[in-house]
Amino acid sequence: MKKNHLFLTAALFFLAAPGLAADLKPGQWEVKQRMTGDQAPPGMNKEKTKTRCITAEEAKDTEEALRQKWMGSGCDNPEMDWDGDTLKWQTQCQSGKRTLSSSGTMNVEDEEHYSTEITTGTERGKLTIKAEARWIGPCNS
């Protein structure tokens, strides 16, 4: 169960940090996500909606904020590449003796909407998370 939790944490990292792409508004974001794959923890809700406040400071330096959060989660410095409004990334994380690989894309539709697809896996299987996120207003105090 602990391995599944770390596996999921690595995959969800990008969903927990939605204001990190170019031209997104700081504020409160609603993220609707759907999880598929054989590494999803048993009994975990495969679809959920959550919110997160992104400060102006977090949104200011996209790549640096992303790198710091990812590396703070025990992962390698991610390889990232912007192509217009699409960010692609790839990294690896350690989970005990296992290595998790994670890759994904974030497409910025406009400053108030983006979508992501993240795939994380080990030799035992993969977990894919697709999400749609929308800016819903200023952060709550």
pLDDT in tens, 42-99: 766 688 999 999 888 877 776 777 788 888 888 898 899 989 889 899 999 887 788 8
Eight-state DSSP code of residue 46:
S
First to last CA, the chain: 35
The whole-number pLDDT of residue 22 equals: 59
Q: What percent of the chain has pLDDT over 90?
A: 31
23: its two tokens: 């031209």
Res. 133: pLDDT tops 90: yes
Per-residue pLDDT, averaged over 116-134, amounts to: 89
Exposed/middle/buried for residue 39 (C-beta within 10 Å: 0-12, 13-18, 19+): buried
84: its two tokens: 């217009």
Eight-state DSSP code of residue 93:
E
51: its two tokens: 């919110």
Res. 38: pLDDT tops 80: no
Q: Which residues pair with 47 in a beta bridge?
A: 34
Looking at per-residue pLDDT, the higher value among 23 and 100 belongs to: 100
Question: Whole-model pTM?
Answer: 0.76
- What's the number of domains the chain is made of? 1
Eight-state DSSP code of residue 81:
E
Given pLDDT bands bounded at 50, 70 and 90, which one contains residue 116? very high
Eight-state DSSP code of residue 21:
S
The whole-number pLDDT of residue 130 equals: 94
**Residue numbers of the domain that contains 46:** 2-137
The whole-number pLDDT of residue 27 equals: 94
